C-alpha cells in the first residue's frame, strides 16, 4: 500500500508529476496523507474490490488536487498516466456523479460506452472489468470521487456494497472538510500572527533598513514561499530608495542587484499594481516585467510559473512593491494567500511610512548635530586644513558623495582652482583649474546660485578632468558666500546613477552658508595666528642674525626657521662673482622625505638653474612667481632636466624667488616652494614678508662683507708698515683683493714718466697674454683713461664703452662675447700718478657701489705701499752703501784681510738662503756678515798686522772685537738688529767660544752662519800667520770641527752649497787676487 502525497506526486493517474498543486492544497494533503489511505483500504475490503482510488477536488470542483489509492498496480488505474490536468467535468462518469450526487456502476458494454474509460486499453488487457464510482459527499458538497474496481471478476457490486461504499465515502468527504477547516484555521492564525508582527513593528522605532528584513520574513512565513524581494520607492514612485531580499540564491542575488535600478514606469506589472492597488500574478515575465530584465529571463529559465507582485500601500498610493515566488514549477497562489499577503502589504506600507518618518526625524537630529559640528570645528581645529576635513566629513554625513572638492576662484586666470578634495578624485585633480566660462562650476561661481544636475555626462557644460573619464553621474554645486563676498565653490558628485534630490539640495544650500562662515572665521583666526607667528619668526630671525658673526654659517638654520612660516620648502643660495653662478647653502622642508631629497639634490648639484635665469632672478626688483605642474613651468619656460625631476619629486606647485637685495646688490636668493595649492605664494602679504626676510639676510651678509673688508684693509695696512719687500706686498694685495673682490682679470702697473706708460707689476688675464704685451699708454683703454683723468672708473657695461680695458684687440672680442664689468683707479702719491690698478669680471652689473668703495680703499693702500717701498729701497741703497764703506774701512786696516767682510757676507747669504730663511732675515745676516769685524777698527794696527804669533795679551785684545763691534753699531738705530749677530759670531756650540760662552741653541742662528762663513773665508785666504788652503781642505776642517765649534747641520748644508755653487768661491778668489 502506498500512502501520502509524496507517492501521489511520483505517479498518479490524473497528475503523475505533482503539477498544479498550490500551497493551500499542500497543506490539505499534509492533513489527509494519513487518513485517506486508511479509508481506501477499509473501503476495498468492505466491497471486495481489488483496488480503491480517491480523487480529491479543489474547493471549486475545477481540478483534481490529490490522489490516494489502495490496491493493485498502476496498470489497473481507471485513467491513463498521461491524463494529467483533466478536469472532473471532462470525465463523463465524474460529470454524471457531480450532476446526480449518486454512485454509478459500470458493468456492461453499454455502461462503458455511455461512460467510457479514459484508459481505453484497460478492459482489453484484463480478463474482465467492473467498477463503482462513488461521490465523496458531505452537506451536499462533492469533495471528490472514489473508484472501486474488480479485475477478472465480473460480479457487479451489490446494493449493500454500494451503500457501504457510500457511507465510507461520506467519511472521506468529512475528512477532507475537516482538513480544509483546519487549514483555514491555520491561515487565520498565520494571518493574525503576521498582522500582529507587522503591528508590533509600527509600535517600535525602527529605520527602513531595520523593518524591511522583518517584513520580508513575515511575508515568507505567511505564504510559505522561497523568496521575498522588497522595493521601497521614492516620493514620486520614479525610483527605488531602499531594497531588501530574503531567500535568494547566488543567481537570484545577481538578478536582484540588477533589477532594482528600474523605475516603476519601466515595469508593466508595477504600473498595473499602482493603478489597481491590487496584487498582480506575473505569469508572463517577459511582457509583464521590465524590458530586458534579468529577472524575467531567470523566471523563464527556471520554469517559475508565477511571481506574485504585491503593492505596498500608504495613504491609498503605492509606495513600494513586494515580489514573492516559489522555485517549484507547480506552485500556484490561491485567493486566500492573496488576501493574506495583501493585508500584510497594507500594514507594511504603514510601518515603512512610520520608519521613514522616524528616519527623517533621526536625520533631522543628525543634520542638526552635523551642522553644529561646523561651529565646533572652528573652535577646536588648529588649522584651516582640519576645518576643511571636518566639513568634508559633515557633508558626507548629510549628503553622501563619491567626489567632493572646494574650489578657490582665481580671477587672474579666469578659473576655479581645486584647493581641497576628498573621495575618489585622482591626485592630479588637486590644483586643477576649471574655466569659469565653460563649466558648471564656473556658472555657480558667476551666478552665485546652486546647481543640481542629474546626469552630468549629458550636460553641455560638464567639465572633463585631467585623468581618464571619471564615472560622475550627478553633481550638486553650491557657492560659498560670506558678507565679504564669494570665497569659493563647494562641489559634490555621485556615480552609479545616484541622483541628488530636493532634500539634498536644501541641505547643500544650508551647509554651504554655514561652511562659508566657518571658513571665513577660521581664515580670520588663522590670519591672526599667522601674523603673530610671523612677528615671532621675524624677531627670532633678527636675533639669530645679530648674534652670529658669520651669517653664512647659520643659513641652514634660517631655512629651518623659515620653513612652514612662508612655505613648506625653503632654499637659500648665495650668488658668486661669476656670471649666473649660485652656491646653495641651506634647504629645509616640512616633509621628512622631501627634506632628504632636497639635501641630496643640493649636495649633488641636481638643482641646476640656467645662468641667465639666475641673473634674471638676482637682478629683479622684486619676487618672481612661477606655477608648476609635474615639474614643468605652467608658463612654458624651459627647466633644466635634473632640476625638473627634483621639482617633480618635491611636488612643487608654486615657486617664489626673492632676491636678497642690499643697496643695489643681490648677494643671494631666497627660494620658496609650495606643494599646497591653497598656500598661495603669489599672495602680496606673503611676498612682502618674504622680501623682509630676504632683505634682513642680505643686510647681515652685507655687514659680514663690510667686516671682512675692514679686516683685510687692516691686515694690508699693517703689512705695509712691517714689510719692505714690494713682491711680498703685491702677493698679499692680490690675495686679499681676490678674496674680497674676485675677478677674471687684473692689471697693476707702475707709471713710467719717460714713456708715459704703465709697466705691469702684476697681471691676470683669461686670454693668456704675455706680460710684455700689456704695457698701457695713458691714451689707451680704461686703465689709460683712469691715469690720464686721475679719476677712478666703475663701468658695469664696459663693452659699450669707446675704449676697452687694456686697449687690446683681444679684449674687444672678449667684451663682444661676454660683456664686461670693470673698475679702474689711478695710483696717486704726493699728487703724482705712480700707476694704475684695474679689475674686471665677465658679464654686466658684476660690481656694486660697495665693491667700488672697497676697491678704492685698496687702490689707495697699494699706492702707498708702492711709494713706501720705493722710499725704503732708496734708503736701503744708501744704508747698504754706508755699511759697505764701514766694512771696507775695517778690511783696509789689514791688506791680508782685503775683501774678507764682503766674502763673509756673500757666504753668509748663500747659507741663509739655503736654509730658506725669510728675505728680511737673509738681508740682516748678510749685513751682519759685512760688519762682523767692525770692532777691529779700534784694535791697534800693530796687533792686527803682526806677522808672528800673538801674545796672550794681544789675543785677549783681539777677542774683544765682537763686544767693541756691538758697542759701535748699537750707536745707530738702523743697525740695532745686527748687534746679536756681531757680538756672538765667535761663539762655539760646545760653549767654549767668546765673549759670552754661549752653546747650542743659545747662539743666535745668524751668528752660527756667520761663524762658518768667517772660518771658511779665513782658511781659504792668505794670512800673515798661515798659508792659504784649498776649498777641499777648508771643507774638511769645517767637518772636523762640526759639533764642537760649528753647528753640524749648518756645516753639512754649507758643504753642500759650496760644492753645488763653486763659482761663489771662484768669484771670491778672483776678488782677492785683484
Tens-digit pLDDT profile for residues 901-959: 888 988 999 999 999 998 889 989 988 888 888 888 878 877 777 777 888 888 888 88
CA angle 17, 20, 26 (to 5 degrees): 90
How far apart, in whole angstroms, are the C-alpha atoms of residue 841 and residue 823? 9
Mean pLDDT for back-to-back runs of 10 residues, the chain (1074 residues) = 30 33 57 85 88 88 85 48 63 92 90 81 63 92 91 82 92 89 77 73 73 87 87 79 85 68 82 91 88 81 88 87 88 83 83 80 71 68 77 85 88 83 84 84 89 73 59 89 86 84 85 82 78 84 85 86 85 79 84 86 74 71 77 60 76 84 72 80 85 85 82 82 77 85 85 82 67 64 84 82 50 53 88 88 81 88 82 64 62 60 89 90 88 83 78 88 88 83 92 92 91 90 74 91 92 91 62 38
Cα 481 versus chain centre, distance: 31
Does the domain at 204-361 match CATH 3.40.720.10? Answer given as no
pLDDT of the residue at 963 = 92
In the chain, where the domains are located: 5-187, 204-361, 381-529, 548-656, 723-867, 893-1073
The candidate with the shortest Cα–Cα distance to 929, out of 880, 985, 974, is 985
What is the fold of 723-867? Beta-Lactamase (3.30.450)
The candidate with the shortest Cα–Cα distance to 837, out of 755, 745, 746, is 746
Give yes or no for a contact between 370 and 390, defined as CB atoms under 8 angstroms apart: no
Asked whether the bond before 325 is cis by omega within 30 degrees of 0, the reply is no
Query: Cell 498496480 belongs to which residue?
Result: 73
Q: Within 10 A of 940 (CB to CB), how many other CB atoms are there?
A: 12
Query: Cell 688675464 belongs to which residue?
Result: 765
Show Cβ contacts of residue 410 under 8 Å, excluding neighbours closer than 6 positions. Answer: 416, 417, 433
How far apart, in whole angstroms, are the C-alpha atoms of residue 744 and residue 527? 49
How far apart, in whole angstroms, are the C-alpha atoms of residue 926 and residue 1063? 18
Q: Within 10 A of 209 (CB to CB), how many other CB atoms are there?
A: 11
Does the domain at 381-529 match CATH 3.30.450.40? Answer given as yes
Q: Within 10 A of 402 (CB to CB), how many other CB atoms are there?
A: 20
CA angle 799, 802, 806 (to 5 degrees): 70
Query: By 3-state DSSP, what share of the chain in percent is helix, strand and coil, each rounded to 5?
Result: 50, 20, 30
Phi, psi of 918 (to 5 degrees): -55, 150
CA angle 214, 220, 221 (to 5 degrees): 90
Q: Whole-model pTM?
A: 0.48
pLDDT of the residue at 774 = 61
Q: What CATH code would you report for 5-187?
A: 3.30.450.40
Within this chain, domains 723-867 and 893-1073 share the same CATH topology:
no
The candidate with the shortest Cα–Cα distance to 749, out of 724, 776, 713, 726, is 776
How far apart, in whole angstroms, are the C-alpha atoms of residue 920 and residue 1006? 12
Would you list the DSSP string of 588-650? Answer: EESSHHHHHHHHHHHHHT-S---HHHHHHHHT-SS-EEEEEETTEETT-----HHHHHHHHHT
CATH superfamily of 893-1073: Hypothetical protein af1432 (1.10.3210.10)
Q: Please report the sign of the dihedral spanned by the C-alpha atoms of residue 968, residue 974, residue 980, residue 982.
A: negative
pLDDT of the residue at 913 = 92
Give yes or no for a contact between 486 and 407, defined as CB atoms under 8 angstroms apart: no
Please return the burial class of 477, using the count of CB atoms within 10 Å of its CB with bins 0-12, 13-18 and 19+. Answer: buried
Exposure of 238 in the CB half-sphere (CA atoms within 13 A) = 5
Q: Please report the sign of the dihedral spanned by the C-alpha atoms of residue 625, residue 629, residue 635, residue 639.
A: positive
Distances (CA, A) of 149 to 120, 154, 523: 15, 10, 101
pLDDT of the residue at 125 = 56
pLDDT of the residue at 13 = 31
Residue 148 C-alpha cell reads as: 472501486
CA angle 8, 12, 16 (to 5 degrees): 95
Strand order in the sheet with 632-633: 582-589, 569-575, 668-674, 654-659, 624-629, 632-633
How far apart, in whole angstroms, are the C-alpha atoms of residue 383 and residue 1070? 98
Give yes or no for a contact between 837 and 825, defined as CB atoms under 8 angstroms apart: yes
Give yes or no for a contact between 574 and 583, defined as CB atoms under 8 angstroms apart: yes
pLDDT of the residue at 637 = 61
**pLDDT digits 0-9 by tens, 191-238:** 777 777 777 776 666 778 888 888 888 888 888 889 998 888 887 777
Give yes or no for a contact between 852 and 823, defined as CB atoms under 8 angstroms apart: yes
Distances (CA, A) of 296 to 286, 832, 893: 5, 117, 147
Amino acid at each position: 500500500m502506498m500512502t501520502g502525497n509524496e507517492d501521489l506526486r511520483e505517479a498518479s493517474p490524473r497528475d503523475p508529476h505533482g503539477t498544479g498543486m498550490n500551497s493551500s492544497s499542500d497543506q490539505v494533503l499534509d492533513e489527509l496523507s494519513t487518513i485517506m489511505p486508511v479509508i481506501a483500504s477499509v473501503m476495498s475490503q468492505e466491497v471486495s474490490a481489488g483496488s480503491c482510488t480517491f480523487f480529491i477536488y479543489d474547493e471549486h470542483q475545477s481540478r483534481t488536487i490529490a490522489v490516494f489509492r489502495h490496491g493493485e498496480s498502476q496498470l489497473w488505474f481507471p485513467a491513463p498516466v498521461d491524463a494529467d490536468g483533466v478536469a472532473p467535468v471532462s470525465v463523463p462518469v465524474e460529470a454524471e456523479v457531480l450532476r446526480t450526487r449518486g454512485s454509478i456502476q459500470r458493468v456492461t458494454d453499454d455502461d462503458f460506452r455511455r461512460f467510457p474509460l479514459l484508459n481505453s486499453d484497460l478492459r482489453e488487457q484484463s480478463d474482465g472489468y467492473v467498477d463503482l464510482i462513488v461521490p465523496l459527499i458531505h452537506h451536499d458538497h462533492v469533495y471528490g470521487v472514489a473508484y472501486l474496481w474488480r479485475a477478472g471478476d465480473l460480479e457487479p457490486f451489490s446494493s449493500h456494497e454500494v451503500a457501504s461504499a457510500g457511507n465510507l465515502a461520506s467519511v472521506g468527504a468529512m475528512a477532507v472538510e475537516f482538513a480544509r477547516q483546519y487549514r483555514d484555521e491555520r491561515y487565520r492564525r498565520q494571518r493574525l500572527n503576521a498582522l500582529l508582527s507587522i503591528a508590533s513593528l509600527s509600535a517600535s522605532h525602527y529605520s527602513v533598513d531595520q523593518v524591511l528584513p522583518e517584513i520580508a520574513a513575515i511575508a515568507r512565513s505567511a505564504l510559505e514561499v522561497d523568496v521575498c524581494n522588497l522595493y521601497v520607492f521614492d516620493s514620486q514612485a520614479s525610483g527605488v530608495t531602499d531594497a531588501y531580499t530574503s531567500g535568494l540564491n547566488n543567481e537570484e542575488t545577481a538578478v536582484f542587484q540588477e533589477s532594482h535600478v528600474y523605475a516603476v514606469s519601466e515595469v508593466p506589472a508595477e504600473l498595473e499594481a499602482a493603478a489597481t492597488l491590487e496584487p498582480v500574478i506575473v505569469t508572463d515575465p517577459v511582457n509583464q516585467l521590465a524590458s530586458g530584465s534579468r529577472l524575467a529571463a531567470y523566471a523563464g529559465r527556471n520554469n517559475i510559473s508565477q511571481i506574485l507582485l504585491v503593492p505596498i500601500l500608504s495613504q491609498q498610493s503605492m509606495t513600494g512593491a513586494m515580489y514573492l515566488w516559489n522555485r517549484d514549477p507547480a506552485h500556484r497562489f490561491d485567493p486566500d494567500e492573496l488576501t493574506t499577503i495583501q493585508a500584510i502589504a497594507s500594514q507594511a506600507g504603514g510601518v515603512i511610512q512610520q520608519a521613514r518618518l522616524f528616519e527623517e526625524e533621526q536625520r533631522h537630529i543628525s543634520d542638526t548635530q552635523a551642522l553644529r559640528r561646523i561651529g565646533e570645528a572652528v573652535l577646536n581645529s588648529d588649522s584651516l586644513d582640519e576645518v576643511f576635513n571636518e566639513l568634508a566629513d559633515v557633508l558626507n554625513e548629510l549628503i553622501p558623495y563619491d567626489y567632493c572638492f572646494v574650489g578657490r576662484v582665481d580671477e587672474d586666470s579666469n578659473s576655479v582652482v581645486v584647493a581641497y578634495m576628498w573621495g575618489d578624485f585622482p591626485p592630479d585633480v588637486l590644483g586643477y583649474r576649471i574655466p569659469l566660462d565653460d563649466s558648471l562650476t564656473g556658472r555657480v561661481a558667476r551666478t552665485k546660485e546652486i546647481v543640481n544636475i542629474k546626469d552630468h555626462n549629458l550636460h553641455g557644460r560638464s567639465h572633463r578632468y585631467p585623468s581618464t573619464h571619471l564615472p560622475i553621474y550627478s553633481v550638486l554645486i553650491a557657492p560659498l558666500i560670506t558678507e565679504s563676498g564669494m570665497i569659493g565653490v563647494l562641489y559634490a558628485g555621485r556615480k552609479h546613477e545616484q541622483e541628488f534630490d530636493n532634500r539634498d539640495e536644501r541641505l547643500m544650500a544650508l551647509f554651504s552658508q554655514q561652511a562659508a562662515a566657518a571658513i571665513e572665521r577660521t581664515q580670520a583666526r588663522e590670519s591672526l595666528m599667522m601674523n603673530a607667528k610671523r612677528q615671532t619668526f621675524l624677531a627670532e630671525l633678527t636675533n639669530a642674525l645679530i648674534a652670529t658673526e658669520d651669517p653664512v654659517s647659520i643659513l641652514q638654520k634660517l631655512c629651518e626657521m623659515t620653513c612652514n612660516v612662508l612655505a613648506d620648502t625653503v632654499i637659500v643660495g648665495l650668488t658668486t662673482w661669476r656670471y649666473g653662478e649660485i652656491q646653495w647653502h641651506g634647504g629645509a622642508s616640512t616633509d621628512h622625505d622631501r627634506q632628504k631629497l632636497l639635501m641630496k639634490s643640493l649636495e649633488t648639484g641636481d638643482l641646476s638653474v640656467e645662468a641667465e635665469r639666475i641673473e634674471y632672478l638676482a637682478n629683479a626688483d622684486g619676487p618672481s612667481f612661477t606655477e608648476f605642474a609635474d615639474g614643468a613651468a605652467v608658463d612654458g619656460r624651459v627647466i633644466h632636466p635634473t632640476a625638473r625631476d627634483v621639482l617633480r619629486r618635491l611636488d612643487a606647485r608654486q615657486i617664489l624667488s626673492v632676491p636678497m637685495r642690499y643697496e643695489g646688490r643681490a648677494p643671494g636668493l631666497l627660494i620658496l616652494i609650495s606643494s599646497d595649492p591653497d598656500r598661495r605664494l603669489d599672495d602680496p602679504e606673503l611676498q612682502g614678508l618674504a622680501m623682509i626676510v630676504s632683505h634682513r639676510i642680505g643686510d647681515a651678509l652685507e655687514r659680514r662683507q663690510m667686516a671682512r673688508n675692514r679686516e683685510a684693509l687692516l691686515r694690508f695696512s699693517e703689512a705695509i708698515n712691517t714689510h719692505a719687500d714690494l713682491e711680498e706686498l703685491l702677493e698679499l694685495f692680490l690675495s686679499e683683493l681676490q678674496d674680497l673682490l674676485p675677478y677674471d682679470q687684473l692689471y697693476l702697473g707702475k707709471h713710467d714718466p719717460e714713456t708715459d706708460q704703465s709697466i705691469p707689476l702684476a697681471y691676470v688675464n683669461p686670454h693668456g697674454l704675455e706680460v710684455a704685451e700689456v704695457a698701457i699708454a695713458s691714451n689707451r683703454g680704461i686703465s689709460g683713461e683712469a691715469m690720464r683723468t686721475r679719476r677712478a672708473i666703475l663701468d658695469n657695461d664696459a663693452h659699450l664703452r669707446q675704449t676697452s680695458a687694456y686697449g687690446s684687440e683681444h679684449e674687444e672680442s672678449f667684451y663682444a662675447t661676454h660683456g664686461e664689468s670693470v673698475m679702474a683707479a689711478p695710483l696717486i702719491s704726493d699728487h703724482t700718478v705712480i700707476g694704475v690698478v684695474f679689475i674686471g669680471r665677465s658679464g654686466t652689473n658684476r660690481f656694486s657701489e660697495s665693491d667700488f668703495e672697497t676697491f678704492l680703499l685698496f687702490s689707495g693702500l697699494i699706492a702707498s705701499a708702492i711709494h713706501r717701498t720705493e722710499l725704503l729701497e732708496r734708503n736701503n741703497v744708501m744704508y747698504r752703501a754706508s755699511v759697505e764703506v764701514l766694512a771696507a774701512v775695517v778690511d783696509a786696516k789689514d791688506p791680508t784681510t782685503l775683501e774678507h767682510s764682503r766674502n763673509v757676507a756673500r757666504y753668509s747669504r748663500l747659507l741663509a738662503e739655503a736654509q730658506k730663511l725669510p728675505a728680511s732675515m737673509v738681508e740682516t745676516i748678510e749685513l751682519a756678515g759685512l760688519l762682523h769685524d767692525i770692532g777691529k777698527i779700534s784694535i791697534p794696527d800693530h796687533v792686527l798686522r803682526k806677522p808672528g804669533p800673538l801674545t796672550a795679551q794681544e789675543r785677549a785684545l783681539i777677542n774683544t772685537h765682537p763686544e767693541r763691534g756691538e758697542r759701535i753699531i748699537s750707536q745707530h738705530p738702523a743697525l740695532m738688529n745686527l748687534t746679536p749677530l756681531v757680538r756672538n759670531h765667535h761663539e762655539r756650540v760646545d760653549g767654549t767660544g767668546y765673549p759670552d760662552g754661549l752653546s747650542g741653541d743659545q747662539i743666535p742662528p745668524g751668528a752660527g752662519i756667520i761663524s762658518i762663513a768667517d772660518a771658511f773665508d779665513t782658511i781659504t785666504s792668505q794670512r800673515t800667520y798661515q798659508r792659504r788652503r784649498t776649498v777641499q781642505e777648508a771643507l774638511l776642517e769645517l767637518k772636523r770641527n762640526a759639533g764642537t765649534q760649528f753647528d753640524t747641520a749648518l756645516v753639512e748644508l754649507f758643504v753642500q752649497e759650496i760644492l753645488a755653487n763653486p763659482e761663489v768661491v771662484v768669484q771670491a778668489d778672483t776678488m782677492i787676487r785683484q
